[in-house]
Structure 1
Amino acid sequence: MAIASDSIRRARPLLGTFVEIELAGARRSELDCALEAAFGAVAQVHRLMSFHEVDSDVSRLNREAGLRPVSVHAWTYEVLATAVALHRRSSGVFDVTIAPALQALGLLPPLKDRPVQAPLAGFADAIELRPDHQVRFQSSDVMIDLGGIAKGYAVDRAVAVLRDFGIAGGMVNAGGDLRAFGVELRTVHVRDPRDPGRAVCRIDIADEALASTARRVELFDSREPGGSAVIDPATRRPASLVDGVTIRAPSCVIADALTKIVMICGTDAGELLESYHAGALLISAGGDVQITSDWHHRVHLAA
């Protein structure tokens, strides 16, 4: 006799946004246990990789790694290894040492007992990954922020937990960085970055990740409303080439990071996208939509 299964959807404030998890394919008690464990994984990523939490791995690295090797959690080490690989493969476009520029623009707060410094030139090989999850910075001037990659990683960790619980299918959505798993085809609506109340398209996904970012955000201490939280390391200024980007990739950590690269490079990132088996949807300042050729059959533009 077949065992009846339920579905469940819950949301919690985490990672500076609302994280929503949808599950199906198991009994309610099993779904509840899996849900708690998945939210726990997301919360742990937040504790480890927050720029703001004084005891996080990121804060300890920013205080100490320029002076001595610092031991970090395996998850933090994995994210840093991914960030270093992306930095090299993107010729320095993806750069987690961008924190001083974000502080100068008012997008990150100053640290206690450490004045905001002028944005520096990009650090090539600034992060040294040593055995046993130890990390050393090239200089005490190096300061990192994992805000451009950690949210996607948290989504992936939550999905891994849910699969470990034997959940058949579902979706984890952290403020637009999301990943579906299982065989069910799911539809995601992408907002127009020029008019967030309007959907520019809908995208069908199955067992893959999406991440989106847009140019128009408020800079807390800047007179440039409509600037971007995506900073071009070459200029230390907000990216302005396109208005919005949505990336499809096998994992959310890669999708999340690639949104920043494509916001800066636009269509010049095509080769890098292919190397990560990723697709992109770009929205220009004039509202034109460009879609990489591998993805047209899954994207349905709004009328």
Structure 2
Amino acid sequence: MGRILHLATTCLLVIGSFGCSSRQRIPVVEQTRTAMGTFFTIALYGRVEPAAAEEAIAAAFDTIQAVEGWASAKLPGSEISVLNRAAGRDTVAISADLSTLLNLARQVSETTHGAFDVTVGALTTLWGFEDSPQAPPDSAAVDSARQLVGYSRLWVGDGRAYLGKPGMRLDLGAIAKGWAVDRAFEVLRGRGFADVLVDGGGDLRVSSSPVTAGRRRVWVRHPRRAGEYFARFPYDSGAVATSGDYERYFLHNGVRFHHILDPQTGWPARGCVSVTVLGPDATLCDAWATAIFVLGPEKGLEIAKQIPDIETLIVFEVNGQLFWRATERLSAMLEILDPEAQPGPPAGFLRE
């Protein structure tokens, strides 16, 4: 087989599999580094000048680090941290990039009536999935944190932003990684590289040349079987992102509590186990994968059909049985690898 890219910690497991042993191996210049709490892999395919490729990849990684520098709530000096500390008190000057990103997030929030909401930071801090919790927080604490969530109380304009209530916090975890992938991709394309792959912890953006066209496959990780794949599909150009309940979670009294929170309830979203979104850029794929996951399989698929240029695969579980649904174009090129998984039950069967 050809070269395999395997990032075991990603929500979307990607394998760049180019042809078979009878074909010539495709040259690649590739680097993997850690950033934004995950692994980023950048690869340039075809016959490229190695020194120029290495320099371009280094510049792309610099761009990713720059995004992390202003988007991470873990960094005390980041724009997000400064804005969070000023919640309910002052407006804060923000960069053009953050302003654009917050406005994009608001569009998804408005379309989904709050199923996607970057002001969810008080809830994500309370749940603390990065600290490996063993039990859910107290219901009263969840209700209290939920009062600090609401995209309508985030104001952005004239190069400034304001969180309207003390204690509100932004968390860009469901959109910033996609933004970083897009910016790195643009750096590489801007330097003249045609055959590009940028993978940020499963948020993926690719472009192909005649060398790789028709030979790239995206493999979607199985949400319930470690080391296995649920589906695969060909993909030459565009972006892909997946949200799943199987990466950051804990079991308590036999119940799975995962990190994808419903902003309106404060608790992990129920209904989906995995959502994969394809689209023109990683930023919107990242956001829409989370939004559709929160909406659930019926409402999520319904709204996905209304959004131009995106496709989605939704995997959900009913009484221990995995079902799947997909938009029409993706269904036509999708290969389901789990023989036990079934196409989704009729609309109205689920109770969301």
Q: 1:153 & 1:89 partners in 2: Cα distance?
A: 19
Matching residue of 2:179: 153
Q: 8 Å contact 2:119–2:151 — kept in the other structure? A: no
Matching residue of 2:155: 128
Percent identity reads 26
Higher mean C-alpha deviation, range 220-229 or range 196-205: 220-229
Q: How does 1:122-201 map to 2 (within 5 A)?
A: 122-131=149-158, 133-183=159-209, 184-185=213-214, 186-201=216-231
Q: 2:151 & 2:121 partners in 1: Cα distance?
A: 15
Matching residue of 1:270: 301
Q: Residues 230 and 164 from structure 1, CA distance in 2 versus in 1: closer, same or farther, beyond 3 angstroms? A: same
Amino acid of the structure 2 residue aligned with 1:37: A
Deviation, structure 1 residue 165: 0.6
The answer to whether the aligner puts 1:228 opposite 2:258 as a matched pair is: yes
Q: Residues 215 and 282 from structure 1, CA distance in 2 versus in 1: closer, same or farther, beyond 3 angstroms? A: same
The answer to whether the aligner puts 1:18 opposite 2:53 as a matched pair is: no
Amino acid of the structure 2 residue aligned with 1:236: G
Deviation, structure 1 residue 65: 4.3
Higher mean C-alpha deviation, range 121-130 or range 47-56: 121-130
Deviation, structure 1 residue 96: 0.8
**With structure 1 as the length reference, what TM-score do the two structures score?**
0.89
User: 2:101 is matched with which residue: 60, 63, 79?
Assistant: 79
Q: 1:224 & 1:151 partners in 2: Cα distance?
A: 31
Amino acid of the structure 1 residue aligned with 2:311: G
Q: 5+ unaligned residues in a row in structure 2: which ranges? A: 1-25, 132-140, 340-352
Amino acid of the structure 1 residue aligned with 2:285: A
Alignment deviations for residues 44-83 of structure 1 (CA, whole Å, 9 cap, x no partner): 1111111111111110110114311111222212111111
The answer to whether the aligner puts 1:292 opposite 2:327 as a matched pair is: yes
Deviation, structure 1 residue 289: 1.9
Q: 5+ unaligned residues in a row in structure 1: which ranges? A: 110-115
Matching residue of 1:112: none
Amino acid of the structure 2 residue aligned with 1:249: G
Matching residue of 2:112: 90
**With structure 2 as the length reference, what TM-score do the two structures score?**
0.78
The answer to whether the aligner puts 1:251 opposite 2:304 as a matched pair is: no
The answer to whether the aligner puts 1:99 opposite 2:99 as a matched pair is: no
Amino acid of the structure 2 residue aligned with 1:290: R
Matching residue of 2:345: none
Number of residue pairs matched by the alignment = 292
The answer to whether the aligner puts 1:53 opposite 2:70 as a matched pair is: no
Secondary structure, aligned partner of 1:227: strand
Kindly report the root-mean-square deviation, in angstroms, between the aligned alpha carbons of the 2 structures: 2.2
